[in-house]
């Protein structure tokens, strides 16, 4: 139980801090879109604004996702859930978070494949590619670029997606551990680890 409590504290603290910083990303997006409107109205339109706003929105959404999970800000049907006991809620949450964990593992694998493709690897083993990068047996190939007129590299936004999905997976595991503790009658507020 002590190891679970430490894991929950570390993951919750990390995702809380990252989420609080990511909240300010909405102002970055607003600034980019404001500049886009101003440049289209008064100057020569900038090619980079719309795509940069899309990349910023991906970062805002994916990096802020674990914080939303932690705060319970996601949509939940409250037809029956609100009247259940804390232990029954924890049991149902523990079962449903297992589906989320499976889905996030699939997303991470797909995001790793997409990231490896953007780094010039066109085969089907993205995990072995990244292991090869660490050991020096693989090299970064021709970097993927967006097909738009601006043509930015895509690996930065794909890296953010992988990081965000991993943070969401860690937060989902943290929620699973909290639910298991609630099922066993453990109170997180009273724990001093």
- Give 193's pLDDT tier (boundaries 50, 70, 90): very low
> What is the C-alpha to C-alpha distance for residues 184 and 147, in angstroms, rounded to an integer?
53
Question: Does any domain span residue 189?
Answer: no
Is there a contact between 22 and 68 (Cβ–Cβ < 8 Å)? no
- pLDDT at position 122 is 86
Question: Does any domain span residue 190?
Answer: no
Question: Does any domain span residue 193?
Answer: no
Question: Does any domain span residue 167?
Answer: yes
Question: Does any domain span residue 173?
Answer: yes
Mean pLDDT to the nearest integer, 105-122: 95
Mean pLDDT to the nearest integer, 36-42: 91
Per the prediction, the chain carries an average pLDDT of 91
More confident residue, 46 or 95: 95
φ, ψ (nearest 5 deg) of residue 138: -120, 155
Question: Does any domain span residue 140?
Answer: yes
Question: Does any domain span residue 192?
Answer: no
User: Residue 84: which region, alpha, beta or left (left: phi > 0; alpha: psi -120 to 50)?
Assistant: beta
Which residues form the domain of 108?
2-75+82-183
Q: How many CB atoms lie within 10 A of CB 59?
A: 20
Q: What are the tens digits of pLDDT across the range 67-95?
A: 999 998 877 777 888 888 989 999 999 99
More confident residue, 65 or 80: 65
- Give 189's pLDDT tier (boundaries 50, 70, 90): low
Is there a contact between 19 and 26 (Cβ–Cβ < 8 Å)? no
Number of domains in the chain: 1
Q: What are the tens digits of pLDDT across the range 119-175?
A: 999 888 999 999 999 998 889 999 999 998 899 999 999 999 999 999 999 999 999
Question: Does any domain span residue 114?
Answer: yes
In this predicted structure, the answer to whether residue 192 has a pLDDT above a threshold of 80 is no
- pLDDT at position 62 is 96
């Amino acid at each position: 139980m002590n190891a679970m409590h430490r894991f929950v504290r570390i993951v919750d603290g990390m995702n809380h801090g990252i989420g609080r910083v990511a909240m300010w990303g909405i102002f970055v997006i607003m600034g980019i879109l404001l500049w886009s409107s101003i440049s289209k109205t008064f100057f020569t339109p900038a090619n980079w604004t719309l795509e940069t706003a899309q990349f910023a929105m991906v970062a805002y959404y994916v990096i802020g996702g674990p914080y939303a999970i932690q705060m319970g800000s996601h949509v939940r049907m409250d037809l029956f859930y609100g009247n259940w006991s804390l232990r029954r809620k924890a049991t149902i949450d523990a079962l449903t978070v297992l589906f989320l964990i499976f889905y996030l593992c699939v997303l991470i694998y797909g995001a790793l494949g997409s990231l490896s493709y953007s780094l010039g690897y066109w085969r089907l083993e993205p995990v072995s590619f990244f292991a090869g990068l660490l050991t020096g047996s693989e090299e970064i190939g021709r970097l993927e670029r967006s097909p738009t007129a601006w043509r930015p590299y895509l690996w930065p936004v794909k890296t953010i997606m992988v990081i965000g999905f991993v943070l969401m997976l860690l937060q989902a595991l943290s929620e699973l551990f909290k639910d298991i503790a609630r099922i066993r009658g453990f109170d997180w507020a009273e724990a001093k680890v």
